[in-house]
Structure 1
Amino acid sequence: MEEFRQVLEDCQLADLGYSGNWFTWERENLPETNIQERLDRGVGTEEWRTLFPDFIIQHLLHSFSDHCPILINTENNVRKNQGESFRFEAWWILEDTFLEKVKMSWGASSGDLLNKLVILKGDLTRWANQIRRKRKRKKEILTTKLATLLEADRDDENMAEIIDTKIHLNMEIDKDESYWEQRARINWLKLGDRNTSFFHKQASLRKKRNLVQKLQLDDERETKEIEEMKEIAQAYFVKLFSNGSHISTDKMFSGVEACISEEDNANLKANFTKEEIRTDKSPRRGWITSHILPKMLANYWRGCRELLPSTVEQRYKLSSPTNISQFRPISLCNVIYKVIAKAIANRLRVVLHKCIDSAQSAFVSGRLITDNVLLAYEILHTLKNKNIGKRGLMAVKLDMSKAYDRVDWNFVEKVMKKMGFDKGWVDMVMKCVSSVSYSVIINGFASTCFRPHRGLRQGDPLSPFLFLFCGEGLSSLMRLAKAENIIKVVKASRSRPAIFHLLFADDCILFAEATERDAISLKQILMEYKQNSGQCVNFKKSTIFFSTNTQERERMAVSQVLKVRRSIDIERYLGLPSMVGKRKRSCFQNLKDRFKQRIDNWSTRFLSQGGKEVFIKAVLQAIPTFPMTCFLSLNLFLKIWRV
């Protein structure tokens, strides 16, 4: 196998990827002995990729042979983006006339901030079209001029002109670099490897990866038509964001304590200052980047509160699956909204430790992801080694279905008010959440806008913090169950504190005695949590792990009540193995596989020697860093560097 890989390297052949089933070879018809592997694949050189940029490799269905047929289609079956969406280009800022154009457009228009931005968008589009036509010609003229100057004899005038020409040529090259950097989305490279073939190929790869080839209709037929795919996506998300019949109960909120003081509210409600509007570290997509927003908004900040009820367009970046329910929605909020939401989120962050239960360690200052990992590991280790005792213990790992998208707005608002947040502050936060309209993007084509009635936007600076308030509903019910002795808590040892649940964003593990009584109580808690917050547990994907001393009769009874799959362990928790025994090598083998996958990536071949060194330090070294914060270094970690 090593020789085969070397041949591919010598011939500069790289894996071309695939669509369809992940495997190309299958043997045995029984589930117990069935084997699936990806043995066959398409490979090609970079020259071939450049010649056929729109190629598609499909793994077709197989019936007679063990191997799947592989179809390489080089035709372009997807319509190009007709440019109906506005995109701010980072290289515009490098143009000498840019700020002058912005000031002229901003000063000439009247009305509120959003109207000014709409007018500015049109003016910048027309200005950019004119500049774009001149750029290529200008670069050619400067290159020719520099070559002529370098061939001439040196004198003071010649040297001054050479320096001036180099400066202007480098500025044009910087614009090209900014253009490709924005599309490649690579932020770890040093200056020497920017605007190289690596950036260009990475941008092409990203564009191809984000392309939606087809979607499945309700009758299980598949379509490649843009209009039909837009209708499928919009219908799905309209239904997903529709408000369900949620019921607020007094019991849910009785466990939520008031923890925000008058001093906290005074600090939260204080007028925002221009120092809170900071320049962003990287160019972003939107009507105007955050490089110039601070300059424009500093004098208008007090009026920005009026923007909160306005419509904020949100779109979706879709992945490769063909079923719309498998796609991952990404919020593309405009930068105006992000500046406002980020300023509010920064103030909210300061008081989170006061009102968020210690069982939640995500997004709270002073709490680490490793806290949850180590606690879960210790308790699961206790369950695995518990061989004696009349009562067994259990750990239930929950899979929350579309957690962010199902959050009920009214529930979050009531939780914040119960915690003691000022009504004016809560109203401002909820306006950020509710004043939104969505538009689904398929291959650059946007559907019509629609207004949601629930859900948090992934990509909104406020969403992680608001989801913590949603999780407080579950923490409240679990605390009440513990106080009323409805659920028996679990301890890692007699002298250790009791732990009955761990939350990290939407990753949740519940601990209780392995009895039918506790299982019924957990089921009632989860159903009440769903009725109030909208959160829905996918019991088919959830798992349950029992301590060794749990009787089979109790295991069957608990599994029947919860309708959850039994497992010999919790599998992975927060990206790490939940239990590590003597076979540590197999538990962490995926780290070595991830290393190889990164190294074998064809695009890294376009890096210089220095760029590869940065790639190792910035990307590869980060892979084992998180596991090594929780577990002692293994020989496997040391051997990784030999890959």
Structure 2
Amino acid sequence: MLEGRWLNNNQRMFLVNVYAPCDLARKRVLWDDLKQLRASNPPGAWCFLGDFNSIRSQEERISSSNRIADPSGISDFNQWISEMELQEIKCVGSSFTCIRPNGSVKSRLDRFLVSDQWMSNWPDSCQHVLPRDFSDHCPTILQTKMLDWGPKPFRVADWWIHQKGYQRVVREAWSSAQQGGWGGVVLKNKLKYLKEVIRQWSKDYGFINDKGIHKIQKKLNEVEDLASNRSLSEDEIKAKRDLQQELWEASNAYESLLRQKSRAKWLKEGDRNSAYFHKVINFRRHYNGLQGILIHGVWIQNPMKLRMKL
């Protein structure tokens, strides 16, 4: 295990290199040892990497003899990953990392498993399986690099519709963007202008994030501290009611935003489980991210080179 700190944000990091045994009994001993290792260390961003000598499903192994992998080993490995609260990051390249010299068996044994803290810091992490040479295992590397593939699509947040003034802003922006010309171009320009107006209107609601909500809570606590020492004036009572209403609206809007990003519609509306929503958001963002595009057998990761080819 390698332990250190990421200097940019003073984040504690743990990198654990794993080489698991082949038999199931000793694997179970290793899984328990790794649980104790993590439990005995302080919280941080964890990454377990290496040859786990285990597969997560029958699809991760192909054998010429059509031999089925031991379901107990698959179940134990997946259960250990779940109990450790780890997730496997997206993989690019070959589906198998271990190939016998005669090609009779192909398996996915090598992988990177990371914690939620890791994904929060580096949501664009991706593992790349490279071609093998002398070894029967393919080299696998972990890359974390932000790629700019162009502008992101504009989406309407659900909480906007319930805010006072939103419909008025939309109507005024749509009516004021009057111009002549071909209908398709006019519609495109009106939508573009409306998008910028809504974005600016959304920025004015600066409390739709953790920091903004905490600021409202701090102001409300200050007023309540005054009320514990003396009677509040009518203006202070009104200010307290306004802060309570503002806090309620901001909290509901923030939860609505997280629900929409996570798309976890099956959760009961109103349940506050922000940590869960953040995990789902990071997981979806990670798997939806583009790490590169394969064009005529050439793997391109540089957006500028892609634009030149197109």
Which bracket does the TM-score occupy, shorter chain normalised?
Answer: 0.5 to 0.7
Is the CA contact 1:58–1:70 (under 8 Å) kept in the aligned structure 2? yes
Match of 1:44 in 2: 114
Distance 1:3 1:159, change over 3 A: farther
Aligned to 1:213: 291
Which structure: greater strand fraction? 2
- Work out which of the residue numbers 158, 166, 170 in structure 2 matches 1:102: 170
Residue by residue over 1:214-265, the C-alpha shift from the partner in whole angstroms, topping out at 9 and shown as x without a partner, is 22233x2221122443576x7xxxxxxxxxxxxxxxxxxxxxxxxxxxxxxx
- Alignment partner of 1:18 out of 91, 94, 105: 91
Residue 204 (str. 1) matches residue 272 (str. 2): no
* Counterpart-to-counterpart distance in 2, 1:206 and 1:4: 23
Listed as ranges, the gaps of 5+ residues in structure 2 are 1-72
C-alpha distance in 1, partners of 2:174/2:84? Answer: 55
Asked whether 1:125 is paired with 2:199, we answer: yes
Displacement of 1:94 in angstroms is 3.5
Query: Could you give the per-residue CA deviations for residues 525-564 of structure 1, whole angstroms, max 9, x where no partner exists?
Result: xxxxxxxxxxxxxxxxxxxxxxxxxxxxxxxxxxxxxxxx
The match for 2:302 is 225
User: When the two structures are aligned, how many residues end up with a matched partner?
Assistant: 226
Q: 1:102 to 1:51 in 2, by over 3 A?
A: closer
Which residue identity is paired with 1:44?
V
Aligned AA (2:88): D
Q: Deviations over 1:34-68 (max 9, x none)?
A: 22222222112222222333222112222322222
SS in 2 for 1:128: helix
1:67 aligns with 2:137: yes
Report the Cα distance in structure 1 between the residues aligned to 2:303 and 2:199, rounded to whole angstroms. 25
2:128 and 2:141 in contact (8 A); partners too: yes
State, as a whole percentage, how many aligned pairs show the same letter.
27
Do the aligned residues in 2 keep the contact of 1:181 with 1:199 (CA within 8 Å)? yes
Q: How many angstroms does 1:168 deviate by?
A: 1.2
Q: Give distance in 2, aligned partners of 1:223 and 1:203.
A: 26
| Separation of aligned partners in 2, 1:180 and 1:51 | 18
Distance 2:156 2:115 in 1: 33
- TM-score w.r.t. structure 1 length? 0.31
Determine if the alignment matches structure 1 residue 93 to structure 2 residue 176. no
SS at match of 1:124: helix
Q: 2-side partners of 1:122 and 1:160: how far apart?
A: 34
Name the CA distance, whole Å, in 2 between partners of 1:21 and 1:210. Answer: 19
In the superposition, the TM-score normalised over structure 2's length comes to 0.60
Measured against aligned partners, the alpha-carbon deviations of 1:368-393 in whole angstroms (never above 9, x if no partner) come to xxxxxxxxxxxxxxxxxxxxxxxxxx
Deviations 1:67-87 (A, max 9, x none): 22221123x15127555x543
Q: Secondary structure, in 3 states, of the residue corresponding to 1:42? A: strand
Q: Which has the larger radius of gyration?
A: 1
Q: Is the 8 A contact 2:127 2:143 kept in 1?
A: yes
Aligned-pair Cα RMSD in Å? 3.3
SS of the aligned residue for 2:200 comes to: helix
Task: Compute the displacement of 1:169 (Å).
Answer: 0.6
Moved more, 50-59 or 154-163: 154-163
**What amino acid maps onto 1:72 in structure 2?**
L
Query: Aligned match of 1:55 in 122, 125, 128?
Result: 125
d(CA) in 2 for partners of 1:105, 1:211:
33
- Determine the C-alpha separation between the residues in 1 that align with 2:207 and 2:252: 16
Q: Could you tell me how far 1:159 is from its partner in structure 2?
A: 7.0
Residues of 1 paired with 2:270 and 2:158: CA distance? 19
Aligned partner of 2:97: which letter?
T
SS across alignment from 1:165: helix
User: How far apart are residue 171 of structure 1 and its match?
Assistant: 0.8
Output the CA distance in 1 between the equivalents of 2:80 and 2:196. Answer: 53
In structure 2, what is the Cα distance between the partners aligned to 1:121 and 1:6? 46
Matches within 5 A, 1:285-304: none
* Deviation of the 1:138 alpha carbon: 5.0
Once the two structures are TM-superposed, the CA of residue 161 in structure 1 deviates from its matched residue by: 5.4
CA gap 1:36/1:134 in 2 versus in 1, 3 angstroms? same
Task: State whether residues 124 and 289 of structure 2, in contact with CA within 8 Å, keep that contact through their aligned partners in structure 1.
Answer: no
Q: Show CA shifts across 1:320-363 (max 9, x none).
A: xxxxxxxxxxxxxxxxxxxxxxxxxxxxxxxxxxxxxxxxxxxx
Inter-partner Cα distance in structure 2 for 1:73 and 1:196? 28
